Amino acid sequence: MTSKSLSQPRFKQLKTLRAIAIGLTISFAAPAFADNLPEVQRLIKQGQYPQALEKVDAYLSNKPKDAQGRFLKGLIYTEMNKPAEAISVFTKLTEDYPELPEPYNNLAVLYAQQKQYDKARTALEMAIRTHPSYAIAYENLGDVYAKLASQAYDKALQLDNANATTQNKLALIRDLITTSSKGNVKPTAATPTVATKASAPTAAPIASVVTTTPSAASTAPTKVAEAKPAAIVAPAVAPAPAPAPVAAVAKSDGASEDIAKAIAAWASAWSRKDVKSYLSSYASDFNTPKGMPRKAWEDEREERIAGKPGKISVTYDEPKITVNGDKATAVFRQHYKAPGLSSSTNKTLVLSRTSGKWLIKEENSR
């Protein structure tokens, strides 16, 4: 049994890994700033978006043109579920820096979330035009093409969207948009095992940035080539499929990472009022409060989350995670904010791992 406090939980709270990896790529690509951006990134990771926004705005007031700052601002808006603002930020970035593929890609992710697949396609095609070997954009574009094809087929064949095949397709697409936020195993998700260790000792923002983005860096062409820390990158990318021969410690590290991500996804879904995603954080055998029927509990959660007017913000301090095989406990202080209610509680989540996914088995507040 190992216990570990995650000093730098990565990939927290972000909607899509594809988007995130890109965020970091850019910082890697343009490392010439040192000011407040690491702080902004830290706040983003902790899910403290309003604070992060404040900081990044302050930063941008001095450097209004700065691509990295504006990119982070776009990410923050995305996380705060303000797609219009996020789209505006990324769009202007593409206008000012048409050579950067990342803003295009994230624009596409936002458009895809809004089911504007044609716009998503255009954006991704722009990303690829500037960077023909941009794997993430290709992957996204493939999904967007599939979605567009499915729409075209629905139209051509007058398919009822409720029928089975179409539903499958929609689920696939939901995958594209939200899967990654649930933190299930994807190549990119596997990278932090190495990254954490490498970055932990150093506080230097650049190093941290470099190491967190091995997979993105490896795909980022030209300009960063000479800076690419190949030794780190290569192993990180290679063991992508889970059963890679990693040491025991690394394994539990991986679990902690996964759990941290699961918690991040859970809090993020809650904040976004994405009830479906929120409920999917819970195991099917979740111990409902007072043993109430699952359905009743789900309805209650839905009412309290989606039914609540105004914004909800759920953030938390660094969780203390204890892993024991397929069971884990996460203890943290949770900050809940909604119109007319603001509370901080100590929360304990008991999680269990089912088919590679960490799901909440018990939830207790004190």
Partner 1 sequence: MLGRKFILLGLASCLASSLVTDALAKAPANPKPGKTQVSKVAVKPVAKKAKPGKTAKLVTPLAAVSTAKFAVATPATRLPAVVSDSGPEAQLVTIFKEIEANRLGNALQLTDALLSQHPNYRLASLIKGDLLLARRQDIQTFGAMTGAPPDKVADLRAEAIVRLRGYREKPETKNIPRYLLQMQPDQRHAIVVDTKRSRLYLYENDLSNGGRPRFVADYYVTQGKLGAEKVSEGDKKTPIGVYHVTSSVPRQKLADLYGSGAFPINYPNEWDKRQGRNGSGIWLHGTPSNTYSRPPKASEGCVVLTNQDLDIVAKSLQVGLTPVIISNSVEWLSFDDWAKERNELNKSIDAWRTDWESRDTERYMRHYSKRFKTNDQSLEQFAAQKKQVNASKEWIKVKTENLSVFRNPGKEEVVVVTFDQDYRSNNLNNLMKKRQYWLREDGKWKIIYEGSA
Query: Interface residues with partner 1 (CB under 8 A)?
Result: 135, 138, 141-142, 145-146, 148-153, 155-159, 164-165
Contact status, residue 201 vs residue 116, Cβ threshold 8 Å = no
Q: How near is the Cβ of 231 to partner 1 at its closest, in Å?
A: 26
Segment holding 343, helix H or strand E: strand 341-354
Residue whose CB is less far from partner 1, 219 or 256? 219
Side-chain-facing half-sphere of 121: CA atoms under 13 Å: 12
Q: How near is the Cβ of 130 to partner 1 at its closest, in Å?
A: 16
Q: How near is the Cβ of 137 to partner 1 at its closest, in Å?
A: 10
Side-chain-facing half-sphere of 27: CA atoms under 13 Å: 29
Q: How near is the Cβ of 26 to partner 1 at its closest, in Å?
A: 22
Residue whose CB is less far from partner 1, 141 or 264? 141
Q: Hey, what are 226's tokens?
A: 């000479």
Q: How near is the Cβ of 177 to partner 1 at its closest, in Å?
A: 17
DSSP at 179: G
Residue whose CB is less far from partner 1, 81 or 150? 150
Residue whose CB is less far from partner 1, 132 or 325? 132
CA distance 263 to 34: 30
Strand segments (E) across 12-154: none
Residue whose CB is less far from partner 1, 161 or 165? 165
Name which of 175, 184, 112, 179 is nearest 148 in CA terms: 112
Contact status, residue 14 vs residue 75, Cβ threshold 8 Å = yes
CA distance 331 to 18: 28
Q: How near is the Cβ of 184 to partner 1 at its closest, in Å?
A: 22
Side-chain-facing half-sphere of 39: CA atoms under 13 Å: 13
Provide the pairing of β-strand 2-5 with 320-324.
antiparallel
Q: How near is the Cβ of 157 to partner 1 at its closest, in Å?
A: 5
**Total Cβ atoms within 10 A of residue 357:** 17
Q: How near is the Cβ of 120 to partner 1 at its closest, in Å?
A: 12
DSSP at 80: T
Residue whose CB is less far from partner 1, 3 or 168? 168
- The most distant pair of C-alpha atoms in the chain lies apart, rounded to whole Å, by 59
Contact status, residue 56 vs residue 72, Cβ threshold 8 Å = yes
Contact status, residue 229 vs residue 211, Cβ threshold 8 Å = yes
Q: Hey, what are 6's tokens?
A: 């995650």
Q: How near is the Cβ of 179 to partner 1 at its closest, in Å?
A: 17
Q: How near is the Cβ of 212 to partner 1 at its closest, in Å?
A: 24
Residue whose CB is less far from partner 1, 33 or 138? 138
Residue whose CB is less far from partner 1, 14 or 141? 141
Residue whose CB is less far from partner 1, 151 or 287? 151
Residue whose CB is less far from partner 1, 193 or 219? 219
What are the residues facing 336 on neighbouring strands? 314, 343
Contact status, residue 143 vs residue 136, Cβ threshold 8 Å = no
Contact status, residue 105 vs residue 137, Cβ threshold 8 Å = yes
